[in-house]
Structure 1
Amino acid sequence: MATFRVIVALSFIAAGRCTSVSKATLPTVTLPYETHQAYSLIDGVYNFSNIRYAAAPTGSLRFQPPASPSVSSGTVDTGIVGRMCPQADPLWLGELAHNFVVDYVSGEEYTGPTSVSSSSYTPGPQDPRITEDCLFLDVLTPQSIFNNETASAPVVVWIYGGGYTEGDKPFYNGTSLILRNIVDGGEGFVYVGINYRLGAFGFLSGSGATENVGLLDQRFALEWVQTNIHLFGGNPNNVTIMGESAGGGSVFTQITAYGGKNTPPPFQRAILQSPAIYPITSEMQQSSLQGFLGLLNVTTVAAAQNLESSQLIAANEQQIALAPWGNIPYGPVASGSFLPELPSQLLLNGEFYQSIEVMVAHNSDEGIAFTPPTMNTTQNLPTLFEDYFPALTSSDVAYLLDTLYPATFDGSYGYVDAIGRAAAIIGDTIISCNTDFVNKAFSNNTYAYEFAVFPGIHAQDVSYTFYSGASASVSNVTVAYGMQDYITSFVVSGTPKSSLGPTFSKHGNGALELEFNQASIAVTQDPTSSSRCAWLQTAL
């Protein structure tokens, strides 16, 4: 059982390293608005860190779409100042959920708290990198590519996850993916990690608010790549966007942006890992807005726009911290020209970029990390789902619970107890079925895989994606390297392959997927291709 505890614990945390060298011989790049010098050269990869891609979203630009940066005075920016958007963690998503999930997957009884109390909230110290002026990106490029004046290397843009309320661009190190591709016989590629606004700063919506500005930040960064990546040896016509959890959900929205009408898109391929989208209704939007304004003691977004940054950061942190178990108050909303409907509906209507190549992924137990421990009895389920998904009618909820996910605990429906049943519904509705929607929209002409290394919980796979030889959360190194091979070869050529596993066939009419499990990489059938997902796509 101790092994399970370590695996689960490391799915909730991550560690990184920072190394710098003398600036004397590091190269510079002249952008249209500034000159930027590489921050470091590690393992043959230049890191151009903290490059501004948009103006500071403060003052009149607060809560507004991103704008182009001003031309600098001519000084060289070294990227030495780290930037991190204001962010916060729900209290339940930290120690509470961690302890509950550890006990559940270990087969032990959970006896801890089952709700979040305002008395338990104490503001913590702020990371010194946190600032509203956070619209920056990092570019990692192999020295061999950068020094080749005719280089036109593939590009991957990483969009971080974190529930649309937390995350930052260097949290995972893209160098590991570049080096794995080189070890596997490739020439590497250019990696871009972007910041985008989070929480109330990026996803405030409702009366007087401009919705989805965090998604617009991402789009602005993708357009920056189109204009500038050639300066780093990258090919703007060979770009893959990639993200996990909220990052995967963000990729989902970029595929359906503007209903697929603004063509061509600023990318050619997409990798969606556990794409998380919560169906936020207009009533939920207004509730989050009023809660935020109430903490600020103002009544309008315009008034909030004029407050001190420290007040807004504190209110954002408090509101998110005290969210009920399983709830995250902010995320993409179906409103405006960028996202006129939920991505699932836009796919159903054929309103998306249909020319791109796609890889999708889900984990074997996406829902347990978001499931309240109070779901240990079947009586609590109807109320939970009426609260979580107010768009569902009472008859919808009855069909969901009686027909699609009945209280049958013999394993035939994919669960053996009430908690597992709730986790299956939550995982499917928020994450797993999104991969099915994408597969179907692209006529199954996609590559799909499932991360099933026990316990297969949400975000456990990311340490495999970015494995660098130093992560204790990776229990099978061969599986980690195989996953990296498939991902990086897809980035480079659109065809995933690895000598460490079987041929990666397209999803096809047989709903095939690769399964990365504890012992091996195997071809299996995709469990998301089901009547459950088909019903959810039209009901939510």
Structure 2
Amino acid sequence: MLLLRNLICLAACGSLAAARQPAHRPVIDLGYEIYQAVEEGNLTKNFYTFSNIRYAAPPVGDLRWREAVAPHENRAAIQSNPDVITCPQGTPTWQIRTSSQISGYLDTGIVPNVSFANLTSLVQTGQEDCLFLDVLVPKKVFDHVKNGSKVPVLVWIHGGGFTTGSKTDFGSPRTLLNRAEEYDEPVIYVALNYRLGAFGFLSGPSFESEGGLLNTGLLDQRKALQWIQDNIHRFGGDKGQVTVFGESAGAGSILHHITAGGGSIEPLFNRAILQSPGYYPYRSTQEKENAFNLFLGHANVISIADARTLSSEALMTANAESIGESLPYASPIYGPTPDGDLVIHDPKVHLARGEFAHSLEIITTYNSDEGLVNVPTIHTDTEYHSFLEAILTNANASTIAYIADTLYPPTFDGSQGYTNQFQRIAKTFGDLAIDCNSVAAGLAFGSRARGYYFSTYPGIHVQDISYTFYNPESKGSYSLVDTGTVNVTVAHVLQDYITGFARRGEMKSEGDGLERDTPPYSSRGTMVRLDSEGIELIRDPGLSERCQWWASGVYNGLSA
């Protein structure tokens, strides 16, 4: 008991923990719980890692499908858990089958025949008690908290299509943070988990009528961001300099926070880096109801009340099965959905209307071929129309016809950006789900935006994550597609952009070879092209009538 009291005293005294404990594992007192930096052997000399800090109570039992609540007080033991913790996962089997064939397609140009029959679930690891975050803080920052200086905070919100991923899935951030250290501009890094799939994004009229809360995954993110506002000063962080960054669904989530409440809800951060900001078109009422019933069917219950009484194992299996066995873009499609409060319209619509957090600064980005690994392989015009009908469930027949005949006509001479049906569907999905989100953000923020376009071959979705978290000892790509060796120059430039933006609001690197600082995106759409063949300033390739039309929201049932 005496030892515990001494540790609590050290933690309460802030930097005295490090001063009186020459060992490399300091303790910090958060009030509700006490945490000690985890043991990492010789992995790092510059950082303390506080792993699996609880930012909300376990969302289990009656707390399922409700807003996360504050953690319970638990001061009986000091927490120091280095284990990997993920929220329950679900992977679309059809997408795995397609992605596994893309390397062959890139080599030969022959569109593969991929069967989507007999799809099965892939049950992955995870646990419902998953609302944790990690904090990596430079030792020289944490050891001198008492001097009152504060450093910027970089917050990672992971992607994974709102059904997979975790705070640690994409590797260690140490090489990224070391780039900031080299310029003597340290930053603190935070990464967070949030509920996924049916646990975080279940919806439908029956779900709501039974007391289910929409967008609990997004609300989890806000809970974590509020935790940062309340606690990051204890680590030496400046709550007034918080930069969020994320890729795919992570960046898509950030866009929803930027436009939350039509711009009326504070985003809880100051800067944002949107890497391939992705989210799915909102589903029709019937599709959401179908997804709800499908999940309940897999769980073998008839109501949310019944589901709240089930074991975690039963619900995790139902979640994985509902996702894994679905045909391409058939129910369920889990992700943000309008709730009349946090989410009102598609962020592109809010951005075009000027309804967003204007005080922010952003970097907006996307890759040169975002759609290729996100769509089923198709060969015919009929299959193309079927895809549109499956993914745009709020669009009427005339809207579908306009997309197929005018926006993305069946012209395969390269003038439209594609030479076959597979490229056509990839271009369509890339624009509607990712590229045009990035364009809309750049145009909305104008002089307060910077941008980069990642075109290092093959430029597919998530390829740039190997650059964001570049580590010479890593094994490379985070996808099933062979994207080649990471170009170290491009990786270092990208890391400089990220850490420099968090520190100074600048997208700048000595390694990019540009003769002047990166200009704002503004109305001209100025971006930096990051390519292994060279780095240069370009005009955003996505500035087009196509993106202007997607920003109208017509495909989601809004009037033109």
Partner deviation per Cα, 1:487-539 (whole Å, 9 max, x = no partner): 11001110110011123211122211111112121111101111101111212
Counterpart position of 2:216: 213
Distance 1:123 1:107, change over 3 A: closer
- Tell me if 1:291 matches 2:294: yes
Q: Distance in 1 between matches of 2:414 and 2:142?
A: 54
Counterpart position of 2:197: 199
Counterpart position of 2:449: 446
1:280 deviation in Å? 2.2
- Tell me if 1:525 matches 2:523: no
Counterpart position of 1:334: 338
- Tell me if 1:372 matches 2:406: no
- Tell me if 1:54 matches 2:52: no
Counterpart position of 2:304: 301
Question: Where in structure 2 are there 5+ consecutive unaligned residues?
Answer: 1-20, 478-484, 556-560
Q: Distance in 2 between matches of 1:508 and 1:444?
A: 5
Distance 1:57 1:515, change over 3 A: same
Counterpart position of 1:140: 136
Counterpart position of 2:238: 235
1:186 deviation in Å? 3.0
Distance 1:70 1:444, change over 3 A: same
Partner deviation per Cα, 1:256-312 (whole Å, 9 max, x = no partner): 12222234x310000111111111222221111110011112221121111111110
Distance 1:382 1:416, change over 3 A: same
Question: Where in structure 1 are there 5+ consecutive unaligned residues?
Answer: 1-21
- Tell me if 1:359 matches 2:351: no
Q: Distance in 2 between matches of 1:122 and 1:66?
A: 28
Q: Distance in 1 between matches of 2:317 and 2:141?
A: 43
Q: Distance in 2 between matches of 1:131 and 1:276?
A: 25
- Partners of 1:323 and 1:329 within 8 A in 2: no
Q: Distance in 1 between matches of 2:153 and 2:91?
A: 31
Q: Distance in 1 between matches of 2:63 and 2:22?
A: 34
Counterpart position of 1:507: 521
Counterpart position of 2:487: 476
1:80 deviation in Å? 3.4
Counterpart position of 1:11: none
Q: Distance in 1 between matches of 2:24 and 2:447?
A: 49
- Tell me if 1:465 matches 2:468: yes
Letter in 2 for 1:389: L
Q: Distance in 2 between matches of 1:88 and 1:276?
A: 18
Paired residue secondary structure (1:311)? helix
Q: Distance in 2 between matches of 1:296 and 1:526?
A: 46
1:326 deviation in Å? 5.0
- Partners of 1:476 and 1:519 within 8 A in 2: no
- Partners of 1:153 and 1:235 within 8 A in 2: yes
Counterpart position of 2:353: 349
Paired residue secondary structure (1:532)? helix
- Partners of 1:211 and 1:336 within 8 A in 2: no
Q: Distance in 1 between matches of 2:437 and 2:184?
A: 32
Q: Distance in 2 between matches of 1:226 and 1:249?
A: 22
Letter in 2 for 1:257: A
- Partners of 2:263 and 2:355 within 8 A in 1: yes
- Partners of 1:40 and 1:48 within 8 A in 2: no
Counterpart position of 2:158: 160
1:439 deviation in Å? 1.5
Q: Distance in 2 between matches of 1:23 and 1:296?
A: 52
CA RMSD of aligned residues (A): 1.8
399-408 or 505-514: bigger deviation = 399-408
- Partners of 2:65 and 2:200 within 8 A in 1: yes
User: TM-score, with normalisation over the residues of structure 2?
Assistant: 0.88
- Partners of 2:90 and 2:122 within 8 A in 1: no
Q: Distance in 2 between matches of 1:479 and 1:463?
A: 11
Letter in 2 for 1:155: V
- Partners of 1:40 and 1:46 within 8 A in 2: no
Letter in 1 for 2:373: A
Q: Distance in 2 between matches of 1:123 and 1:178?
A: 34
- Partners of 1:239 and 1:269 within 8 A in 2: yes
Partner deviation per Cα, 1:386-416 (whole Å, 9 max, x = no partner): 2210222222222212222222222222112
Partner deviation per Cα, 1:408-457 (whole Å, 9 max, x = no partner): 22222211222111110011011110011112222353111111011111
Letter in 2 for 1:344: K
Q: Distance in 2 between matches of 1:236 and 1:523?
A: 33
- Partners of 2:90 and 2:121 within 8 A in 1: no
Counterpart position of 2:9: none
Paired residue secondary structure (1:275)? coil
Partner deviation per Cα, 1:44-64 (whole Å, 9 max, x = no partner): 111100000000001111111
Counterpart position of 1:4: none
Paired residue secondary structure (1:299)? coil
Q: Distance in 1 between matches of 2:451 and 2:546?
A: 18
Paired residue secondary structure (2:102)? helix
Percent identity of equivalent pairs = 40
Q: Distance in 2 between matches of 1:111 and 1:276?
A: 25
Letter in 1 for 2:367: N
480-489 or 220-229: bigger deviation = 480-489
Distance 1:306 1:49, change over 3 A: same
- Partners of 1:204 and 1:211 within 8 A in 2: yes
- Partners of 1:134 and 1:195 within 8 A in 2: yes
1:81 deviation in Å? 4.1
1:340 deviation in Å? 2.0
Counterpart position of 2:482: none
Q: Distance in 2 between matches of 1:505 and 1:441?
A: 16
Counterpart position of 1:266: 268
Counterpart position of 1:180: 179
Number of matched pairs = 510
Paired residue secondary structure (1:490)? helix
Counterpart position of 2:278: 276
- Partners of 1:203 and 1:331 within 8 A in 2: yes
Letter in 2 for 1:388: I
Counterpart position of 2:84: 82
378-387 or 53-62: bigger deviation = 378-387
Counterpart position of 2:425: 422
- Tell me if 1:493 matches 2:507: no
Paired residue secondary structure (2:369)? coil
Partner deviation per Cα, 1:171-195 (whole Å, 9 max, x = no partner): 2212121101222x13220000000
Alignment of 1:108-127 (within 5 A): 108-118=109-119, 121=120, 124=123, 126-127=124-125
Distance 1:291 1:160, change over 3 A: same
Q: Distance in 2 between matches of 1:116 and 1:232?
A: 51
Letter in 2 for 1:527: P
Counterpart position of 2:438: 435
- Partners of 2:93 and 2:122 within 8 A in 1: no
Paired residue secondary structure (1:106)? helix
Letter in 2 for 1:447: R
Partner deviation per Cα, 1:146-200 (whole Å, 9 max, x = no partner): 11122301001100000000111112212121101222x1322000000000000
